C-alpha cells in the first residue's frame, strides 16, 4: 500500500496516501478557544473550515516554533477532513502490511481528556534506513470528533473570527482571548505577513483562480536576499545531514549527501549570482532539483513561499544594464513589497561550470 512519508521534528512518520487530499505551506491559523492544546486552530480552505492539529504537542515536544517551511497535510477519512502540521513532506513509498509491526502500537483505552500518543499509531515500519511511525487516520479522526463537543464550526465566521454558540458572556470572554492571540509568536513581522497572505489565498475558491499559463515559483533566500525558482524543477526541500567532503574540488562544491540511499552532490551557487560564498555559515537546508539527468542539491537558507505569477509579471533584465552576474537570472518580479530575482537554475546546472569533469 502507498504511504506518504513526512517528518515531525526529527522523527519520520507515514500515513496512507489514499487519505491525503492536498499539501500546502503552513498558513496563519485561527485559534479555537478552550480546545485541546494540540488542536492548534482552524483554516478556511476555499470556504470550508477545517481543524488543524499539531501532533508534536501531543507527543510531548515543547511549544512549537513554526517555520515558513512547515506544511499542512489535508486528510479525508470517512467524509471528515482535517489538517496536520508537519515539518517536511518527503515522498510516497510502498509499505506492505506485514512490514508494519502493530505490536508496538498499544491500544490504550481513550480517556475523556487524555489520549496516549500511541493511540494514533497503526504500527512501526522500517523504510530504507529509517524507522517510520505509521499513523492511524481513523483514530486521528475520532480524536478530532471528540475534541470539539462544544463548538459548531458553521457558526464561525469564514474570515477567521470566532462566534461560539454559547451565551453572550462566554462569547465576550472568547473574543477577549482572540484579541491577544498572535500566531507563531517567534516569527518576524515579514514572516507573519507571509503566514497571513497564505491564509488569505487559501480562502479563495479554486474557480476564482485561473492557474492556466501561470508560472509557479518557490521563494527562497540566499545570504538574506530573496530569489524565485521555477517549482517544476524542484523535487523537494530537505534538511542537510552528514556532508561528505569531496577532495580536490572548488569551493562551490560543498560535498556529497546521502538522501534515502541516493548520493547527491551539494553545490553553493552564490558565487554565480555575485554573492559571497560565506563558507563559515551553517548549512542546514538544501533544495533538490532535477534538470534532465542531473539531480543535485542547492544550498539555501530558507524556503518562504510558493507563488504563481503571470508571465507578464516577470520582467526581463534590459540588455543595456545586463551585468555578468545576471547571466543566470531569468528576470525579476515583485514579491509582496520586494523585488526578487528569478534564477535560471537549468542554465546554472548545465552551463554554470558547477561540476568537475572527473574523467581521466
Q: Which residues, 6 or more positions from 207, have their beta carbon under 8 angstroms from its beta carbon?
A: none
State residue 26's pLDDT score.
Answer: 93
As a whole number, mean pLDDT of residues 133-151 equals 74
**Beta carbons of 263 and 256 less than 8 angstroms apart:** yes
**Residue tagged 474570515 (cell numbers):** 159
Q: How confident is the model at residue 319 (pLDDT cuts 50, 70, 90)?
A: low
Share of the chain above pLDDT 90, in %: 13
239-253, 273-287, 312-326, 343-357: which has the highest mean pLDDT? 239-253
Question: Among 316, 286, 280, which residue's Cα sits nearest to residue 299?
Answer: 286
Q: pLDDT band for 34, please (50, 70, 90 cuts).
A: confident
Query: What is residue 261's predicted lDDT score, i.e. its pLDDT?
Result: 81
Single pTM value for the model: 0.67
pLDDT tens for each residue of 266-316: 998 888 878 887 655 667 788 899 888 888 999 998 888 888 888 888 888
* Mean of pLDDT values over 328-339: 84
- Give the Cβ contact number of residue 324 at 10 Å: 8
Strand order in the sheet with 329-335: 302-309, 215-222, 225-230, 338-343, 329-335
**Residues of the chain above pLDDT 70, percent:** 75
Distance in angstroms between the alpha carbons of the first and the last residue of the chain: 45
pLDDT at 85 > cutoff 50? yes
Most confident segment among 192-201, 209-218, 248-257: 192-201
CA distance 151 to 292: 52
Instruction: Please state, rounded to an integer, the average pLDDT across all residues of the chain.
Output: 77
Amino acid at each position: 500500500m502507498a504511504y506518504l512519508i513526512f517528518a515531525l521534528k526529527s522523527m519520520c512518520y507515514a500515513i496512507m496516501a489514499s487519505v491525503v487530499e492536498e499539501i500546502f505551506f503552513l498558513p496563519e491559523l485561527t485559534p479555537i478557544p478552550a480546545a485541546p492544546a494540540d488542536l492548534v486552530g482552524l483554516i478556511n480552505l476555499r470556504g470550508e473550515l477545517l481543524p488543524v492539529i499539531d501532533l508534536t504537542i501531543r507527543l510531548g515536544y515543547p511549544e512549537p516554533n513554526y517555520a515558513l517551511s512547515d506544511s499542512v497535510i489535508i486528510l479525508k477519512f470517512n467524509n471528515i477532513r482535517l489538517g496536520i502540521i508537519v515539518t517536511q513532506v518527503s515522498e510516497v513509498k510502498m509499505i506492505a502490511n506485514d512490514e508494519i509491526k502493530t505490536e508496538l502500537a498499544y491500544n490504550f483505552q481513550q480517556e475523556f481528556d487524555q489520549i496516549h500518543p500511541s493511540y494514533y499509531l497503526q504500527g512501526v515500519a522500517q523504510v530504507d534506513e529509517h524507522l517510520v511511525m505509521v499513523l492511524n487516520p481513523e483514530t486521528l479522526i475520532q480524536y478530532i470528533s471528540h475534541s470539539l463537543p462544544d463548538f459548531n464550526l458553521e457558526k464561525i465566521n469564514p474570515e477567521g473570527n470566532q462566534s461560539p454558540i454559547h451565551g453572550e458572556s462566554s462569547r465576550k470572554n472568547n473574543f477577549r482571548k482572540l484579541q491577544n492571540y498572535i500566531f507563531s509568536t517567534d516569527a518576524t513581522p515579514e514572516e507573519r505577513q507571509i503566514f497571513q497572505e497564505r491564509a488569505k489565498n487559501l480562502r479563495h475558491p479554486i474557480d476564482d483562480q485561473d492557474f492556466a499559463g501561470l508560472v509557479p515559483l518557490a521563494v527562497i533566500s540566499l545570504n538574506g536576499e530573496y530569489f524565485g525558482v521555477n517549482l517544476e524543477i524542484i523535487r523537494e526541500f530537505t534538511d542537510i545531514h552528514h556532508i561528505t567532503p569531496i577532495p580536490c574540488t572548488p569551493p562551490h562544491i560543498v560535498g556529497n549527501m546521502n538522501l534515502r540511499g541516493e548520493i547527491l552532490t551539494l553545490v553553493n551557487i552564490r558565487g554565480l549570482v555575485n554573492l559571497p560564498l560565506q563558507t563559515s555559515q551553517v548549512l542546514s537546508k538544501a533544495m533538490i532539483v532535477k534538470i534532465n539527468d542531473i539531480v543535485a542539491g542547492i544550498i539555501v537558507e530558507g524556503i518562504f513561499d510558493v507563488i504563481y505569477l503571470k508571465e507578464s509579471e516577470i520582467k526581463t533584465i534590459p540588455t543595456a544594464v545586463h551585468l555578468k552576474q545576471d547571466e543566470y537570472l531569468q528576470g525579476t518580479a515583485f514579491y509582496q513589497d520586494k523585488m526578487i530575482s528569478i534564477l535560471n537554475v537549468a542554465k546554472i546546472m548545465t552551463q554554470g561550470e558547477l561540476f568537475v569533469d572527473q574523467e581521466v
